Structure 1
Amino acid sequence: MSLVIAKFGGTSVANYSAMVNCAKIVLNNPKTRLVVVSASSGVTNLLVELIRPSITDEDRVLRLTQIAAIQYEIIDRLPRSEVLIAQIDLLLSRVTHLSESLVLNRSKQLIDELLSIGEQCSSLLFSYVLRQQGLVAEKFDVRDVMRTDSHFGKAEPQLTDIFERSNELLRPLLEETVIVTQGFIGANHDGITTTLGRGGSDYSAALLAEALNAETVEIWTDVAGIYTTDPRLAPNARAINEISFNEAAEMATFGAKVLHPSTILPAVRKGIQVFVGSSKAPDDGGTWIRNQIDHSPTYRAIAIRKDQTLLNLHSFDMLHTHGFLADVFAILARHKISVDLITTSEVNVSLTLDKTGSDSSGQQLLSSTLIEELERHCDVKVETNLCLVALIGNKIPSTTGICSRVFEVLADFNVRMSSFGASEHNLCFLVSDHDAAHVVDALHRNLFES
């Protein structure tokens, strides 16, 4: 069976009308047998607000009311079903109970369960919308197959278990019905709910595609594909018809919001093509991500990632000695800190860190404990309010004149750090939040529009 997996993001399932648009996309492709959904737009943010330790009882009631209103806007447009209403009300009651429990118990386990309820609601509602549109559809609890470790907030999928359970429990259902399931969430081996980190719905869809050997993963969002950069920063940004896995992985990693950074990995492992399109305008086309493409330009896109942290480590112990970097990275690994870019001199190391995919609990990226451990080895300086800008393309280090052309454009801006040569597909630099939008616009005008 040729299988297409369609993933619909939060804006695509934001309300009843949006869900109907998505249902038509599913109806139009008989190969679409598995649908993965995010929480309806705004719900996860409201759930995150319920986690805040400082939330008042009045604010809690307001957020709970807002969450319920989003669900009932959809229910009220469907044929009345006491079963559906009872199921949604049970989930909403669970939100209330968990949010109250978090006042006394700040357990990451409880937080993950609370955050999972947005996807549980949207998948249930979308299965009813599909039925209303004439499809045989059922909700499936992804936690039965999406096995993870117990790192609540950013759980690591257990691939062997996912493959085995997907083929045992999920594949037989796809022969008979369209299955609607949840992105973003999973369960550990004890069946306790976990989450994959913000934006993990794309990753969920790709993992299921890999496990089920799907032909295509469709990522339906609110834009018609992947653009050369954010159109809000460069008005002449244009849609890209197709890009390679390598280029897409770079774009996702360095901030392209259309894709979650981990999405491409399962697709690359199985050679599964990925399509990115707009659920609001599915006939407008989109971007295909494939292993083999016809055209590989030097400049493909510009990605930007905000809210970056620069960690500067200075120590004369680095001079003509060994083991310093090993000690530093061992400390960062213990605290589950992922390093993006790194530059070194004889006595100084600079590292960029990013909050993408960090714990949903909002825990501070660099804890005081981590800083204290690092300070036993070196002087530590932390800089914030920075943006990472990445020029994505092909054979960048081996193409004459790229650096001179790029840094000529950047002559009027302060570049805090740069990274070049480690990858064939990117040139990265760190600039201030204040300059970032101007930098992207200037680069796009000079490299893509001239």
Structure 2
Amino acid sequence: MTQVTFPTVVAKFGGTSVADFDAMDRSADVVLSDTDTRLVVLSASAGVTNLLVALAEGLQDAERYIKLDAVRAIQYAILDRLSDPHTIREEIDRLLDNLTTLAEAAALAPSPALTDELVSHGELMSSLLFVEVLRDRGAEAQWFDARKIMRTSNRFGRAEPDINALAELAQQQLAPRLAQSLIITQGFIGSDVNGRTTTLGRGGSDYTAALLGEALSACRVDIWTDVPGIYTTDPRIVPAAKRIDRIAFEEAAEMATFGAKVLHPATLLPAVRSDIPVFVGSSKDARAGGTLVCKKTEHPPLFRALALRRKQTLLTLHSLNMLHSRGFLAEVFSILARNNISVDLITTSEVNVALTLDTTGSTSTGDTLLTSALLTELSSLCRVEVEEDLALIALIGNSLCAASGVGKEVFGVLDPFNIRMICYGASSHNLCFLVPGSEAEQVVQKLHRNLFE
């Protein structure tokens, strides 16, 4: 087995960083400016994945052709600006033809497996094009199919990677290539034991980069996006948000888990396991600096950031059988587990249980959490109420449970709003509450003004 013995940086570029030829050209500048960058992980060009997911839902002829033409236009706009587009045109055309066939199949019988096969084409095309952009610059670059080593479960839309298989396959097939040239591969996609294409869920390219960094014992993982680092909240919601120059793994993981879009929630798991620093910067202006996510920071503040996650569902379960009885919660969670439901937050009273479900993340069109079978099974046990279109806001910080006055500082600000649920005390790094989706941005703006400005 070949071990990587030189410093290796894994660089991941998001959809906006490979959106068009000019964006790819800027990303090539970033890659070539650091000789330690040996492996590049790419998302699909901006907008392509959304088009492919729409195709996977099974569109009628006219609408299907419009979406396919839009995908072709994005890829051809890059292709036509290469110095020698003919070297890659045949391969891009083959993938586009395959897309047409898959989209026609989806129109007849959509399925999660077909969706994953279809949406994988975005990353396959962007990575092929980026190799040619680099070669135009005189770089020695090779294309590598991530599905050869990214072994996953067959839960299409949210596949789970096999860490041990990945480590072994990466050392066998990828490590020797890194010594020879720069390697360009795909984020987000993998394959199950039967060779069927899978995906890790929306935003899974970050996770891919971190997993590959771990498998190759990388010295750093760089996440290049359209913002220069991690901010105290989303600058699009609060223009006064400030960049955080250094942040601890635990804080960043909380931010990612609770909706900060700059990092995929699972990204930091491999980095934490292997103590690999993660840098977040902007490919539009690499010199603007960014945020370094590392094991520890000096003098961490009480309040670090605010994260917002939309599309939340609140499930309230009511049963008099809960009163002074044992086993009710165990039965509820057994039903949820059988239906592959992961619970985010939970609060209980004598006869009620309230819990939240996260409905973001999957690419699979068949991945509906609240199926009729699940609701029927729960209804046999208790009365079920469902509220949708809620938003989860998380205040991220340090030693929140031990600090005095946190409640007064936070909840005084929230007085005008309808708070549907509060979770405080389970973690010293977060305080979470659920609000109507229509009020979410106002809540974030008011909290940020009072706690961070």
TM-score, normalised with respect to structure 1: 0.98
Cα distance in 1 for residues equivalent to 2:169 and 2:367: 32
1:330 maps to amino acid: S
**Amino acid of the residue matched to residue 248 of structure 1?**
A
**Over residues 69-124 of structure 1, what are the superposed CA-to-partner deviations in whole Å (9 max), with x where a residue is unaligned?**
11111111102243300100000001000000112222322111001000000010
Q: Pick from 41, 47, 62: which aligns with 1:58?
A: 62
Matching residue of 1:396: 400
Structure 1's unaligned 5+ residue stretches are none
Cα distance in 2 for partners of 1:127, 1:57 equals 33
User: What residue number does 1:33 align with?
Assistant: 38
Tell me which residue corresponds to 2:278: 274
CA–CA distance in structure 2, aligned partners of residues 315 and 276 of structure 1: 47
- Distance (whole Å) between structure 1 residues aligned to residue 57 and residue 263 of structure 2: 27
Measured in 2, the distance between the counterparts of 1:84 and 1:214 equals 30
Q: Is the 8 A contact 1:137 1:180 kept in 2?
A: yes
Match of 1:332 in 2: 336
Asked whether 1:231 is paired with 2:235, we answer yes
Give aligned pairs, total.
Answer: 448
Correspondences of 1:178-189 after superposition (within 5 Å): 178-189=182-193
Instruction: Tell me the amino acid that sits aligned with residue 6 of structure 1.
Output: A
Name which of 24, 41, 47 aligns with 2:29: 24
Q: CA deviation at 1:49?
A: 1.0
Give secondary structure in 1 for the equivalent of 2:114. Answer: helix
Amino acid at match of 1:314: H
Q: Give 3-state SS (helix, strand or coil) of 1:203's partner.
A: helix
Quick one: distance in 2 between partners of 1:200 and 1:394? 27
**What does residue range 336-351 of structure 1 map to in structure 2 within 5 Å?**
336-351=340-355
* Equivalent runs, 1:255-270 vs 2, <5 Å: 255-270=259-274
Q: Distance in 2 between matches of 1:421 and 1:363?
A: 32
**What are the superposed Cα offsets for residues 15-73 of structure 1, whole Å, 9 maximum, x if unpaired?**
000000000001100000000000000000000111223x2211111111110111111
RMSD: 1.0
In structure 1, the residue matched to 2:20 is: 15
**Aligned pair partner of 1:46 in 32, 51, 56:** 51
Deviations along 1:152-177, one digit per CA (max 9) or x if unpaired, are 11111001100000000000000010
- Specify the alignment match of 1:199 in structure 2: 203
Native 8 Å contact 1:255 1:305 kept in 2: yes
What letter matches 2:152 in structure 1?
T
Q: Which residue of 2 aligns with 1:164?
A: 168
Amino acid across the alignment from 2:319? S
Equivalent AA in structure 2 for residue 75 of structure 1: L
Matched residue of 1:12: which SS? helix
Correspondence for 1:355: 359
TM-score calculated relative to the size of structure 2: 0.97
**1:300-319 correspondence runs (5 A):** 300-319=304-323
SS of the residue 1:360 aligns to = coil
Gaps of 5+ in 2: 1-5
Q: Which moved more, 1:218-227 or 1:329-338?
A: 329-338
- Which letter does structure 1 place at the counterpart of 2:289? G
1:130 partner amino acid: L
8 Å contact from structure 1 (residues 311, 383) kept in 2? yes
Q: Which shifted more, 392-401 or 329-338?
A: 329-338
1:375 matched to 2:375? The reply is: no
Deviation, 1:435, is: 1.3
For 1:265, the aligned partner's letter is L
Structure 2: distance between partners of 1:358 and 1:6: 24
Contact 2:112 2:367 in 1 (8 A): no
Aligned with 1:410: secondary structure?
coil
| Counterpart-to-counterpart distance in 2, 1:174 and 1:338 | 38
Matches within 5 A, 1:39-188: 39-53=44-58, 55-188=59-192
2:280 alignment partner, SS class: strand
Identity score, percent? 57
CA shift, 1:201, in A, is: 0.5
SS in 2 for 1:189: coil
Structure 1 window deviating more from structure 2 (348-357 vs 9-18): it is 348-357
The code of the aligned residue for 1:233 comes to I
* Cα deviation digits, residues 130-157 of structure 1 (max 9, x gap): 1111210011000000000111111110
Comparing 231-240 with 208-217, which one deviates more in the overlay?
231-240
* 2:303 paired residue number: 299
Instruction: Give matches, 1:246-257, under 5 Å.
Output: 246-257=250-261
SS at structure 2 position matched to 1:84: helix
- CA distance 1:362–1:258, shift in 2 (3 Å): farther
1:41 partner SS? coil
Matches of 1:306 and 1:444, distance apart in 2: 18
